[in-house]
Structure 1
Amino acid sequence: MRLSSLLIVSFTFLAAAGLSLVAAGFAVTGMEYSTEIAVRRTLDETGHDWAEVTADGLRVELNGTAPDEADRFTAISVVGTTVDAARIIDNMDITPTADLAPPRFSVEILRNESGISIIGLIPRGAGRAAIVEQLANLVGEDRVTDLLEIAHYDAPAGWTDAMTYAVKSLQSLPRAKISVVAGQVSITAISHNIDEKLALEKALNRTAPPGLRLALDIAAPRPVITPFTLRYHIDQNGGRFDACSAESDGSRDRILAAAQKAGLAEPTTCVIGMGVPSPNWSRAAELSIAGLAQLGAGSVTIANADITLVATAETPHALFDQVVGELENALPKVFALHAVLPVPEAATESAGPPEFTATLSPEGQVQLRGRLTDETLRHLTDSYAKARFGSDNVYVATRVVAGLPTNWPVRVLTGLEALSQLRRGSLTVTPDHVNLRGMSHQENATAEISKLLSAKLGGAESYGLEISFEPLPEPEDKPMEPEQCEAELAAIQQVHKIAFEPGSATVAADSRETVDAIAVILDQCGEVRLEIQGHTDSQGREEMNQNLSQARAQSVLNELRARRVVTSSFAAKGYGESTPIADNGTEEGREQNRRITFHLIRPEQRPEAQSTLDSAASENTDIEPSGETAPETDAPIEQETPEQ
């Protein structure tokens, strides 16, 4: 019996242990499955569907290939929100990255009197030591500055040919900058003259290897010209240059164009060099050649900043004075003019007496020509004329000559003062007479100018006046007559009406164009006394309608002020429902009664009496100007019905 009991107990114990093992196995398998399902769901929801999950007991293994390191790290992080991070085993791989592209290889070589400098990035195997040695053979080892860097990449196609050609080219370029990239060389250099430039370009192009892109910029310095000279001559055969210098291609083209206008007989060119005395050289040459062309014959010579203009003996004195005066005043300040008019062997008195003239155009432009006694008088005349007629309206073409009468300055300045009182006219001053002709808008202009000339010239002086009177023309921007202004405002009101927000004094947004149109008309009306009247229909209480009409009239006045209309003579007045122009029993009638009107304030009528005009002037349909300015009035605004 005892043995049987022991067997039963042992069997029972073994059976329980077996059941426990089976239960534990099922529990582990269930936990692994649930863990794997939860982790996989988390990965799919976060976009990491490339990852594979395997649960092994408490461990969670992650497999798969991540697009990059960031995605791999993110996958581990999101799984760590589902299971303990200590249970995660990372068996993931990362997609291999593509090879980095090689850098852009380039070299800059600079050669001058100090030696050679070379800087840039070259590929491996490019022969750095050999390059530096070749450069050292040109200028000496201690005069080569090596700033090259090497990148461990193979040389690109065309690199070796370009580098070899660049180093070889330096043998014939003592002053140059060479830029090298694969398949391309750019050379900037300086030669001694144009012939050397052409020879270098030919040699460099001939020695360039096939397929190499070559860019050449070789400059030849301009010669130094001293003195910087130009001489142009005109005779019966036309114009010709004895000498021509210019500092640039543009300057040369301007000078030649001026010579062609002056009758250049045969094609020529100008030497482009250094040493120009002023950046305005071409301007001075243009003016000088044009002045000589006006004379018709002679020569002009420019040596640095000195200009000599020589006319022929047959040149009329008046023409010579005019051309020289204009040229003296037009030349740039650095240039000095010396004008020569040869005296004929048999001089006659046919040249006429010296004179000074001034002309005033209807547009206010003044031209001063003729002779003055000295440089001081010329400056004084110029300043006085600009003060009288405006700095931008005076053109001076006077010249200084000797031998004029001692009272010449008084005659000239007094004549200019008299000319300034005319609308248009001309002044002529001669040694024995002052003559003034023209037109004035003042009826007593002749008497006033006669007093001026008599007082300043003296009773013994001779002067003549031929002055006509013309009434002042009506201005083009003459304001409208008040009645026309009122009619124009009424015409606008017949088309558009100033509308307001319901129950408010705020001008409606869609009425702004109407207020703009009214503002334009008022700007053309000038100074008028105007009453802006506000009216309502009969709905609501009478006091409320009165206050609302006043506020709306004031709001329109404010809108006009905002548009910079001068409103100092305007008044705003509300009439409420007291002056209807239609039946308030219908919607159409009430709409007509809600209005803004504009009326002239006439001297014989008080503003309060204007209300009686509304019924008689019902044809003046009301307008509703636009705007959003809040009403400015001391009267309170009561709420009205929406129809108001």
Structure 2
Amino acid sequence: MTGMRRLLVFIAILPLIGLGLADLGRRGAVALEGMLKMRVENGLGVLGFDWARVRADGLVIELAGDAPDVDAQTLAVEASRSLARPGRVIDRTTARLAPPERREPVEVEFHRDDNGLTLIGRLHDEAMRASLLGAIEAAEPGLVVHDLTGLDAARPSQDWAGEVAVALAAVHMMPRAFVRITPGSLLVEGVAADPQARDEMEAELIRLAGPNVTLVTAIRVPGRIIAPFSFIAEKTRDGALALVACAARTEAEGVGIDRIRREMAIEGGPLRCSVGLGGPHGDWEGAIRAGLKALAALPAGRLEVTYGSLTLDAAPPTRVETFEAALARLSNDIPPGFDLAGAVAAGREAERAAREKESYWMQIVRLGDRLALAGRVEDAAAGAALSAVAAARLGRERVASDLELAGVLPPPGWQEAALAAVDLLAEAPGSAELTARGLSVSARVPSAREARRLHDRVAAKLPGEVRLETRFVVDMPALVAALPLGPERCVAELDQVATARGILFDPGSARMDDRSREAISELAAILRRCPDTAVEIGGHTDNQGREELNERLSQNRAEAVLDALVAQGIALGRLEARGYGEHQPVASNDTPEGRARNRRIAFQLRE
């Protein structure tokens, strides 16, 4: 009976035990589910996959989200499957397709020179390269071609046979040419023998290009060298402005100067300004306009603009005050980079003569190669004799006389003093003034020894009653700068300026930086001090980039320096440009400093 009771009790509590075990199983499954989800989420977080979303359903893990690319999607799924064991992972992720690789468009440069034709750029594939080389061979059989092109450019949207034909025609016309072609467009640069040849070339290239190809041409004609590069005008006593000489750097600049001539009613001279090389840097047209404005403000005078210098000379009857006012305005008006000089070439100065009627007698001024006489003489014969002596020393056309007969007694010994002054000023530019107090002379001389010699020579010619006062200016810096140089010293000073000043170019280009103008001017000044020395201008680069391109770049930069020196008036026959590329380094190319030292312009004597 007892055993039966126990059985009934067990049967009664058996459902309760089943319910407890089921609840325990459910709790275990939930705990395992949460553990798997947390493990997968933590692992994806470590990998930085914040785009992935994790959902757990028992032992099943669902992975969703938009992966940035296929590689990220694959890695996230594989990592989740490793982390979710013993469960399994269902992949519901998506991935964005990567954009297609961007390719540069087709572009080829043709460089034609004495060494043949060099091709630089990028083509689509070998078939395009073979087609291009075949077209070159057919157009000019036997032409040496240096092919430096690369492949894998984007396929052009259209056939570019027409562009290639125009490019080949251009490099065939000009022994030195540069052409850049892309499908649909061309840039052509080169040099023609004369304007007519340039016009004919451009017309033919336009015809070949047709309406569907954009063509840009930059074919230049070498200008002739003009020396000295000057603009000279004079104003006579009747107020008329006359042109003596005129030069311009470009056709457009010549048109601008012609416009100024018409505005100011300037007569005479050449019909058109000569166009050529040799002019200074800076606003040449602006310098001429400013100088003519100052000249027009004078009763009479002369304007000379030569290279980078303006000289304004006043002629009788210009007063000192009038001239100084015009010179002051001109100093404010001239463009940067131009020097200014000027002096009263001769002046009667009525006001001054009235103030010093009893003492003032004569003024003699030497400016440049011209001598002016102003003041009084005892009689016409004395004036003619003085003018004749001056003309004998400097030439009749270089002597201007504004002498008048005296109304007062002359200073003692005036004739001997005037002749001595003319004799001195024939050798040194300056001025002399003769008054009742004596003779006062001011002049610029090359050395102290020359000053002593000239003083003694004038003093020896004066009668004892004439008091002599001399003031000589010795320009020592100019004296040193004008001393001639031997060949070796000439090259050494050229190298010193090139190193200290630096001749700078735009990166990867032969275009000279504007900051190099002063260096070029100093180099030209040195070359003028050794006129019989011929030099080689060497261009050098570092070892960055292709060897062939470095050689070409160094040659182009050396030629740019040569052209700039020729523009400064240095004879072309004295200069030779040569590019050495990277083959003559002066420092290690392993450091930025060393490479900077290797990128240079150097000079040496020509063999």
TM-score > 0.5, shorter chain as reference: no
Structure 2 length normalisation: TM-score? 0.43
Task: Please tell me whether Structure 1 or Structure 2 has the larger radius of gyration of its CA atoms.
Answer: 1
